[in-house]
Structure 1
């Protein structure tokens, strides 16, 4: 070695004040020069050095964000929110492929069993898919990141809304694409939208009382029951009551009422999503 890093430069290097290009030269030189590394150790604060190694270890051990999480981070979403969104089970490829397959088969069946008024089978199934997606996005029985979610720096209601909006956006887009495959029905093929919003809002409003699984299951069962009842009362070839103008208005009113009830019950979601393990004195994990 024909030169060594000056002591004042080593001290600036330790403080993080050494600017390029001297910083790059010092980095390269320290790799090859044992004498300068020893001098660097003598002017370094051991506590700061240990803290630096700990930060480096944490950075190396931290999981790398996936494609979806990386996109959320680039959009300015906080890292903990992006991580919780990316871990939502129903936003994964397997769920989306399953939903797409179900919709494709339903569209094909609706086209095969063409009704002069509306694609009844498609309209009956489409509102259930966003409801099922929201049910699978949150709750201790299904969500693999549930315990992480309940200790995250998020209000329980806000976390629920964040995931619900994400799932609804994806689910409604997939449903909308499937609707394009039924152009012969015109706007009648969109009659699933208001029932989907009504079912989802109702399921969420019932969650504090019934839980994240039973609430959507009960809501979906009531929907299917209403369809069966409407089928028995509808005339031959007539559209089912939920897909008429009156039925759409009712669905909009139910969605609005359920949304209002959900807002009133927002504080219940913190108690409803308490950690699964009791850490009180005398309990065992």
Structure 2
């Protein structure tokens, strides 16, 4: 059966562009089922739009950044794509920085063999702290400006990166522990002080900025080890470090929520 009327060209253009609403939409679709002439005309109108969409999709696919090995590894581990993209932009997770951490650990372990394991225990807690310090800020973070204006929770971004950086650095320190001349449970005594130093620096960063906070905490730790020798690595010292980390984390969570991200990491000065 042929139709005695046809859909106007303007209405077909609206339908091809997806801008045709009811009840006209229902009428056009019902007519197209029974009218080959209008279907043929619709094909001619829709082809340029489909062709443009196809080229746009191709351009987007060609311009899309290709995930690197770390991002692919995070994807295989079940990390969401947007979270993985945030993590791979972290400067302290780059191979260059991790290589520098590994070199530092090799030197401290070598000194531990020549001198004593205290050299390693004193230096290891500062490595995650320094790694976190270089993970943020206008001079080091390539996504710093975007992070200030992006519609994401600054506290979530902060904790995501800190956990990833501390985990990567702690893994390297753990491997270094296995090469110490005196391999025992005492070789892992660096971890709790490291956690306390990192969280304390983050807490101070809400007021003084990350760089100043990291320098102050590292200097304080060096002075403490110099004055008390192995006290932080005894059972009492480990308990003190755990309590200090828990208290600092609670204060950080309370203070950081609702703060401007720039309070953690001051804007670039021009």
TM over 0.5: yes
Q: CA, structure 1 residues 153+183, in 2 after alignment: closer, same or farther (shift >3 Å)?
A: farther
Kept in 2, the 8 Å contact 1:147–1:275? The answer is no
| Larger deviation, residues 148-157 vs 89-98 | 148-157
3-state SS in 2 of match to 1:144: coil
> Which residue is 2:162 aligned to?
164
Q: CA, structure 1 residues 87+44, in 2 after alignment: closer, same or farther (shift >3 Å)?
A: same
> Which residue is 1:272 aligned to?
263
Kept in 2, the 8 Å contact 1:157–1:269? The answer is no
**Alpha-carbon shift at residue 217 of structure 1 (Å):** 1.1
Q: CA, structure 1 residues 199+274, in 2 after alignment: closer, same or farther (shift >3 Å)?
A: closer
In 2, Cα distance between the equivalents of 1:199 and 1:164? Answer: 12
State how many pairs are aligned: 231
In 2, Cα distance between the equivalents of 1:277 and 1:142? Answer: 11
In the alignment, structure 1 residue 243 sits paired with structure 2 residue 268: no
Kept in 2, the 8 Å contact 1:89–1:95? The answer is yes
* TM-align CA RMSD: 2.5
**Alpha-carbon shift at residue 187 of structure 1 (Å):** 0.9
Kept in 2, the 8 Å contact 1:100–1:174? The answer is yes
Trace 1:101-180 onto structure 2 (pairs within 5 A).
Answer: 101-114=103-116, 119-180=117-178
> Which residue is 1:74 aligned to?
76
Which TM-score applies when normalising by structure 1? Answer: 0.74
Query: Which of 48, 55, 58 is residue 57 of structure 2 equivalent to?
Result: 55
Kept in 2, the 8 Å contact 1:199–1:219? The answer is yes
Kept in 1, the 8 Å contact 2:138–2:268? The answer is no
Q: Which runs of 5+ in 1 are unaligned?
A: 1-13, 16-38, 232-239, 279-284
Query: Which of 260, 279, 284 is residue 250 of structure 2 equivalent to?
Result: 260
3-state SS in 1 of match to 2:182: helix
**Alpha-carbon shift at residue 135 of structure 1 (Å):** 0.7
Kept in 2, the 8 Å contact 1:90–1:136? The answer is yes
